[in-house]
Amino acid sequence: MPELPEVEVTRRGFAAGIRGGRILHARVDPGLRWPLGLAADRLVGTTVGGVDRRGKYLILELDRGLLLIHLGMSGSLSFRPVQPPPGVHDHMDLVTDRGQLRLHDPRRFGAVVWAPGLESPRAQKLLSKLGVEPLSDAFDVRSFHAALKSHHAAIKPVLLSGRVVVGLGNIYASEVLFRAGIRPTVRADRLSLARVERLHAAIRTVLSHAIERGGSTLRDFCGSTGEAGHFLLDAAVYGRAGLPCPVCGTPIKHIRQGQRSSYFCPSCQRF
């Protein structure tokens, strides 16, 4: 699933190009995860302003409302001067006088939702329960520590939930916990302030590096200009069960937490 780094890489790839573009034609497949909320042809004539991101949602600001775009499990956006004819898995086309934005989503879990504004009930239904943005100034160590104190579950699923901090998918949560020296099974409320400080720093470092590397391509993710992500080439533990830890040489362990795979070094992540 595209996570925060992949979504941010996508945003950066087309935001400047589409800014100021007037929508000439719009097509949105009604079979996506949620309904658009209005007839697609009502988007024609609107102008695209900025492109923002909240968690894994891209926010296209229009001069009349906004579009919330979620890439789902397998979605990707491409932005080109002209797109080829749509295929069976191409579920949205926004044709502007600056270029054409297309959503490709083989599993159809993606969504394109129109809302009149960020504070509208329609937008808040999707955004209001999201945790703090990890690369923003709002991501404060002491507030993070206080939020974790209210969670009695293991730290890995707490990070994955997106309720405390957004954007940490399975790959990045494993890498963050390794860098912080925290075992994925330790309870979130038992982390000391010193350990949360290391976790906070690791989250910022890992996500920033992932964005620089273009995100992670597991199956079919690519950025809006068609490039694959290369973060997994630098992964220390994710997908490396049985291989030596890059720090101490101990074989990496693999366990299941819920329905998700967790990878960790039993020596570097003792507690």
User: How many structural domains comprise the chain?
Assistant: 2
Residue 234 forms part of a structural domain: yes
Residues 9 and 117 both lie in one domain: yes
State residue 221's pLDDT score.
46
| Among 93, 127, 161, residue at a domain's last position | 127
Q: What is the pTM of this model?
A: 0.90
Distance CA(231)–CA(218), nearest Å, equals: 10
Residue 223 forms part of a structural domain: yes
Residues 169 and 110 both lie in one domain: no
Residues 120 and 35 both lie in one domain: yes
3 catalytic per annotation = yes
Q: Tell me which of 19, 54, 122, 260 is the catalytic residue.
A: 260
Residue 240: which CATH number? 1.10.8.50
Residues 219 and 163 both lie in one domain: yes
Residues 185 and 101 both lie in one domain: no
Q: Tell me which of 3, 6, 8, 175 is the catalytic residue.
A: 3
Residue 132 forms part of a structural domain: no
Q: Tell me which of 2, 5, 106, 134 is the catalytic residue.
A: 2
Amino acid identity, position 206: V
pLDDT tier at 227 (50, 70, 90 boundaries)?
Answer: low
212 catalytic per annotation = no
State residue 166's pLDDT score.
96
Q: Tell me which of 11, 53, 56, 240 is the catalytic residue.
A: 56
pLDDT tier at 3 (50, 70, 90 boundaries)?
Answer: confident
Percent of the chain, pLDDT > 90?
Answer: 84
56 catalytic per annotation = yes
61 catalytic per annotation = no
Residues 149 and 259 both lie in one domain: yes
Residues 151 and 74 both lie in one domain: no
pLDDT digits (tens, 9 = 90+) for 25-78: 999 999 899 999 999 999 999 999 999 999 999 999 999 999 999 999 889 999
Residue 243 forms part of a structural domain: yes
Cα angle vertex 1, ends 50, 12, to 5°? 25
Q: Which domain holds residue 79?
A: 4-127
Distance CA(102)–CA(90), nearest Å, equals: 7
Residue 269 forms part of a structural domain: no
Residues 103 and 28 both lie in one domain: yes
pLDDT digits (tens, 9 = 90+) for 150-204: 999 999 999 999 999 998 989 999 999 999 999 999 999 999 999 999 999 999 9
State residue 115's pLDDT score.
98
The residues, ordered by sequence, that sit 6+ positions from 113 with a Cβ below 8 Å of its Cβ are 34, 35, 36, 37, 67, 68, 69, 70, 122, 123, 126
| Among 97, 127, 157, residue at a domain's last position | 127
| Among 104, 127, 150, residue at a domain's last position | 127
Residue 270 forms part of a structural domain: no
Residues 159 and 47 both lie in one domain: no
Residues 44 and 122 both lie in one domain: yes
Positive or negative, the CA dihedral 147, 148, 152, 153 is positive
